[in-house]
Amino acid sequence: MNITVVCDVLGEENNGTVIAAMNLIRFLKKQNHKVTVLCADQSKKGQEGYYVVPNRSFGKLLDKYVAKVGITLPKADDNIIQEAIKDADIIHCMLPFEISMHTLKFARERNIPVTAGFHMQAENLTCYIKLNKWKLANHFVYKFIYKHFYKYVDAIHYPTKFMQDTFESHIKKQTPAFVISNGVHNYVQRRETPKPEELKDKIVILTTGRYAREKSQDTLIKAVKYSKYKDKIQLILGGQGVKEKYYKKLGKKLPIEPIYKFYSRTEIIDVLNYADMYVHPAEMELEGISCIEAIACGKLTIVSDSKLSATRNFAIDQKCIFKKRNPKDLARVIDYWIEHPEEAKEYEKKYLESAISFDQDECMKKMEQMLFDVYKYKKAQDKTEENK
């Protein structure tokens, strides 16, 4: 098939949505589909199969902030969009933003089937204006993106049932849903990886993800301060983002200053394998690929009990869960596992066994099948209309 993938956010693979998009694009190409990518990532300009719209500017100050978050925002160019979809059998949009909305409009005019991913929570937007705790603001976001986008697509890909249930509870409607994990690549696996020499006498605790308000890494930094073993804990924050300065300030209060570093996709797997435990403190998480990667490495994984986070469903049991944004409770859980190393080994085995459902090749095959099914259904519908 000729498939156009529309990416309102694309660039360095440093967040779940970009990773999911690139995994899908690579898999579909490997299956010999013709894949066209519509995006605003200027580094892709001139590359075969990429159609690049301009970046949107909001003024110097806001542009600087957006860049610091690690994304680029697109400005729709209808000529480029129409060129990108002219031969498409089906279109898959990653997010309900500007170029996806314009693409959907043109696709409907041409009767091209459209599927769309659900890779954001309302809180991902409202937290940047500090309205994430205001339920009405989050409800408005869900209603808006349904009314102006998801209402008109032929199918919605949800990475988790949690996200499907959340969205449908807000819009009070059932959607044409496919629940498919984004999965993790088979290079993400358990392997013997010795700690670097300078960390051999330390208890290494890892967390990964954007340094952002909703990821709540500050809770983990504060928790280490309350731990009985704070003099032995080396905290590693794998990532980058707008909260870096604040986190570094917090980290200076610890006996051992945390390591702040953005790791490549392969480097982080080594860190995962030599870490003693992984903590995912996020208050909001649609799926949590970095958490799934820890599980795929058979790492003892601790998550928050936040009702806005899908990762709470990955925990083996309550011993691996702490109260959201509660550093003292997180310290309690961390200390428990430090004091019970044999039990920790048993839980690592359980996590490794649970990782089977996240095999990326299987997940991508399901995504491909979704595209086939929607395309066939749309064509059958068209034939029925013609015969009336």
R_g over Cα of the chain: 22
**239/164 same-domain check:** no
Walk along the chain (388 residues) and give the pLDDT tens digit of each residue: 999 999 999 987 777 788 899 999 999 999 999 999 999 999 999 999 999 999 887 777 666 766 665 566 789 999 999 999 999 999 999 999 999 999 999 999 999 999 999 998 888 777 766 666 678 989 999 999 999 999 999 999 999 999 999 999 999 999 999 999 998 888 889 999 999 999 999 999 999 988 988 899 999 999 999 999 999 999 999 998 889 999 999 999 999 999 999 998 789 999 999 999 999 999 988 888 889 999 999 999 999 999 889 899 999 999 999 999 999 999 999 999 999 999 999 999 999 999 887 888 999 999 999 999 999 999 888 777 777 6
3-state secondary structure of 333: helix
Q: What's the domain count of the chain? A: 2
232 within domain boundaries:
yes
**179/260 same-domain check:** no
**243/337 same-domain check:** yes
Q: Residue 44's pLDDT is what? A: 93
**363/278 same-domain check:** no
Task: Note down the domain range covering 220.
Answer: 197-356
Output the pTM of the full model. 0.82
The rounded Cα 82 to chain-centroid distance in angstroms is: 28
187 residue type, one letter? Y
Q: Residue 61's pLDDT is what? A: 67
Distance CA 332, CA 71 (A): 36
Q: Residue 154's pLDDT is what? A: 97
**148/253 same-domain check:** no
Q: Residue 16's pLDDT is what? A: 78
**176/229 same-domain check:** no
Q: Residue 383's pLDDT is what? A: 79
Nearest to 334 by CA among 216, 229, 197: 229
Query: For the domain that residue 339 is a member of, what is the CATH number?
Result: 3.40.50.2000
**350/378 same-domain check:** no
Q: What distances in angstroms separate CA 175 from CA 224, 230, 322, 331, 374, one per listed residue?
A: 43, 48, 33, 41, 14
Q: Residue 70's pLDDT is what? A: 58
Indicate the DSSP class of residue 53. P
Q: Residue 92's pLDDT is what? A: 98
At CA 201, angle to CA 198 and CA 203, rounded to 5? 105
**352/369 same-domain check:** no
**139/172 same-domain check:** yes
H helix intervals, 122-232? 122-126, 135-148, 161-171, 217-226
Q: Residue 71's pLDDT is what? A: 62
329 within domain boundaries:
yes
188 within domain boundaries:
no
133 within domain boundaries:
yes
190 within domain boundaries:
no
**260/375 same-domain check:** no
φ/ψ (deg, to 5) at 73? -110, 140
241 within domain boundaries:
yes
**346/381 same-domain check:** no
Q: Residue 72's pLDDT is what? A: 67
192 within domain boundaries:
no
191 within domain boundaries:
no
The rounded Cα 156 to chain-centroid distance in angstroms is: 16
At CA 13, angle to CA 214 and CA 54, rounded to 5? 95
Q: Residue 286's pLDDT is what? A: 84
Which tokens belong to 182? 């984004």
**328/250 same-domain check:** yes
